[in-house]
Every structure is written in C-alpha cells, then in structure tokens.
Chain A
Amino acid sequence: MHDGPDPTDAAAVHRHLHSHLPSDPALRVKALESLAVEKGLVAQETLDAWIRLYDEEVGPKRGAHVVARAWTEPAFHARLLTDAAAAVREMGCHGHATGHLKAVENTATVHNLVVCTLCSCYPFALLGMSPVWYRSNAYRARAVREPRAVLAEFGVTLPEDCGVRIWDSTAELRYLVVPQRPAGTEGWDADRLAALVTRDSMIGTQRDLGPV
C-alpha cells in the first residue's frame, strides 16, 4: 500500500517531501522560542512544563478541586475568600497566572460572572486554557453590557431577586467563581464533589450544578 504521490510526477514528489513544513505562524513561534531558549531568556524545561500543564494536566480540574475543598472545609473556604492566591498555593497551584487571584462566591441572591473586557486574562493554572467564546469580542463586550442576556444564551435564567456581579479580569487580577454546592450532595467527599464542578460554573456562565 502506497499513500504517497505518483513517483513519476516530480512536482508531486516535491510537494510530498515538503508537506511537513509547518505553517508560517508555527515557524514564527518556533523561531521566537528557539531564540528565547538559546539566549537564556526562558528555560526549555519551563516551556515544556507549561505545555505539559495545559495539554495534559490542568483542564478545569484544579479549579474544581479548589471549589470542592471550599465546600467541604469551612476553614479553607474562609481562606479562599480572604486570600485566594495564598489558598490555592496551599494546593500546589501557583505561579501560572494565579499570582493575584480573587474568589467570588455565588449565593441565592448573587451570581458572579467573569470576563476580560480588555483581552483574555484568565486563571489558566486553575481552569486550563480559556474557551474560545471567552476570548471572543462578542462575549467580552456583551458580558458587561447585557449579562442576563448572555447568561440566558448559556441556559442560565436568574431569578428576579438575584443580582449579577461582573468581574473584569486584568493581567494583574483574575477571578474564580465559587458556585453554590448542589443540593443532594450532603456527605459527599471532595473528590466526588469536584467531579460536579464545571469550567463554565467557575467562570459564571453556568449556575446550577448536578446532581439535583
């Protein structure tokens, strides 16, 4: 079985040989990266660790464990709301865009929604990479102007007496929404609870979590 080009077609052979040439932007990144490492501006190990972190480990599960611990440990809950950066450092989440972090808690009468109106600032170390919609102009503009309409598009309809607080992330300060613990989870341990916590609930575009 041969899946290459017709060997009698020199142009096709040429194209096939070069078909693994990365795209222009990929080459631009590779050029910058290799120079930055070569000049000692960043360590290759640091870059590899970042990539491994985002690619394999983080997702939103670190944030979910932070939330679940807050639900189950009142002392940690208090520390998280007082100094979120210090609290998440206790759990080994530090450095990567959580240096200045604020946790904001949903209640029966308050719903929190996070946006970065400027660009796409986000607590990567807790939630992994930001979703495409979080980075979109539409979300960034509308989350502040018409939050209830945006929430409705995510399937969230807030009661009349529930206010919305918008938190505008910056390069210096990012936010983590602590959603409400779902009813029917009394007695659950933190690992089981963490499985219920979604990325969107920690941004604020989801309000009610399972199982009830």
Chain B
Amino acid sequence: MRPERPMSEAWHLQAHALAEALKAEGRIDPGAFSSALSTALTQMPDDDAGYWTAYLATLERLTAPVPGLDPATVATRKAAWEDAYRRTPHGRPVTLEA
C-alpha cells in the first residue's frame, strides 16, 4: 500500500489530542467514541479526508452532552474565533480579546 502522511492537516492532530485527553479525563467514554466513529465512518468516503470529517463529527457528537460544550455554546465560540481571525492583522497573535 501507499506511503502516507499520518496527519495531513494540523487540526487532525488537535482533534485527536483533544479526544484522547477528554477520554483520559473521563469526559467522554472511549467505547462510545469508538462505536460512534464506526457508524460515522460508514457515511463518509473511504479516504483520509472522510476519516477526519467523521472523527470531528464524532467528537462533536460525544461532547455535545458535556456541560459547557453544547452545540450552541460551541457555535458561538466558533463565530468568536472567526471574528478574531478576521480582525487580526497578519503577524499578530489571534486572541478572543478585542
């Protein structure tokens, strides 16, 4: 089979690290994560992009019941980061503080 880069985008690594840390802290159940990922993978193309799309969807699904990580809060925070990136000039650190 072909050689490959195990992580083709930085967010793959960040998502993986977050998932493993949340499992280690008992915030999400490893077995439930595996099961949900298995289901999500059946709905994605069988390639690297499909895998990580399924992985992130699984992470979001498993964290949704965690207090503070509900979808509405996460969506608000995502919008805040997007605003921060848009208003921050190149070369400056992007922070949520205005």
How many B residues touch A, CB cutoff 8 Å? 56
Q: In the complex, what distance in Å separates the CA atom of A133 from the CA atom of B47?
A: 8
Inter-chain contact A41/B25, CB cutoff 8 Å: yes
Task: List the A side residues contacting B48 at CB < 8 Å.
Answer: 132, 135
Inter-chain contact A120/B37, CB cutoff 8 Å: yes
Inter-chain contact B81/A31, CB cutoff 8 Å: yes
Contact of A135 with B51 at beta-carbon distance under 8 Å, contacts A25-B56, A29-B56, A32-B69 already known? yes
How many A residues touch B, CB cutoff 8 Å? 54
Task: List the A side residues contacting B31 at CB < 8 Å.
Answer: 170-172
Closest chain-B Cβ to A141's Cβ sits at a distance in Å of 10
Task: Mark B residues whose CB is within 8 Å of A.
Answer: 1-2, 4, 6-7, 9-11, 13-18, 20-22, 24-25, 27, 30-31, 33-35, 37-38, 41-42, 46-48, 51-53, 56, 59-60, 63, 66-69, 73-75, 77-78, 80-82, 85-86, 89-90, 96
Inter-chain contact A51/B13, CB cutoff 8 Å: yes
Q: In the complex, what distance in Å separates the CA atom of A35 from the CA atom of B79?
A: 13
Q: In the complex, what distance in Å separates the CA atom of A50 from the CA atom of B24?
A: 11
Q: Is A39 part of the contact surface with B, judged by Cβ < 8 Å?
A: yes
Which among B17, B20, B30, B68 has the highest number of chain A CB atoms within 10 Å? B17
- In the complex, 6 of the A-B residue pairs with CB atoms within 8 angstroms, ordered by the A residue number, are A32-B60, A34-B77, A36-B63, A41-B22, A42-B21, A50-B20
Inter-chain contact B20/A124, CB cutoff 8 Å: yes
Task: List the B side residues contacting A27 at CB < 8 Å.
Answer: 78, 81-82, 85
Inter-chain contact B11/A50, CB cutoff 8 Å: no
Which among B13, B14, B56, B69 has the highest number of chain A CB atoms within 10 Å? B14
Task: List the A side residues contacting B24 at CB < 8 Å.
Answer: 46, 95-96
Closest chain-A Cβ to B13's Cβ sits at a distance in Å of 6
Closest chain-B Cβ to A165's Cβ sits at a distance in Å of 21
Q: Which residue of A lies closest to B58 (CB)?
A: A119
Inter-chain contact A96/B20, CB cutoff 8 Å: yes
Extra contacts besides A18-B86, A34-B77, A42-B21 (11): CB < 8 Å: A20-B85, A29-B15, A36-B63, A47-B14, A47-B17, A47-B18, A54-B16, A119-B38, A124-B20, A131-B6, A132-B47
